[in-house]
Amino acid sequence: MVPSLHEMPAHVPHSRGRVHVVAASPFGGMLLAGLVLVGLHRLLAWASFHSEAVSRLVKGDAVLLAEHGQPRSEALAQHNLTHNDLLEGIRDSANVASLAETEAVCLERNGSISVVKK
């Protein structure tokens, strides 16, 4: 006789000593958790749109990574970027080969790198 789902234990030992875990999460609880996350996201998006202070708290500020062709080492280190990451970003976003061709390089609030060419 096969036991019903309610009679089965949460874990069933395997013959080799392994344990198999049965996913028995209730659908309603998972759905509620998902709805809470969506609701929090919508609330933060609305608050960020209507309040500059909340927007800066949630999204941060743009950061100057290089100026007049010179990298700002403290800004790169603060945002865990290497010099090679910076060069990759300027090649990708502005199609320039070196920092000498740039006036300013910024890490934007959305994580992209923007470049002002000389």
- 117 near 102, Cβ under 8 Å? yes
Considering the domain architecture, whether residues 51 and 68 belong to the same structural domain is answered as: no
Mapped onto helix, strand or coil, the DSSP state of residue 70 is strand
Q: How many domains does the chain have?
A: 2
Counting DSSP H helices and E strands in the chain, the numbers are 4, 6
Domain membership of residue 80 (yes or no) is yes
- The tens place of each residue's pLDDT in the chain, 118 residues long, gives 555 555 555 555 555 666 665 566 688 888 999 999 999 999 999 999 999 999 999 889 999 999 999 999 999 999 999 999 999 999 999 999 899 999 999 999 999 999 999 8
**Predicted TM-score (pTM) of this structure:** 0.64
Report the residue count for the chain.
Answer: 118
**Alpha carbon distance 73, 66 (integer Å):** 8
Helix (H) or strand (E) holding 99: none
Provide the domain limits for residue 30: 8-59
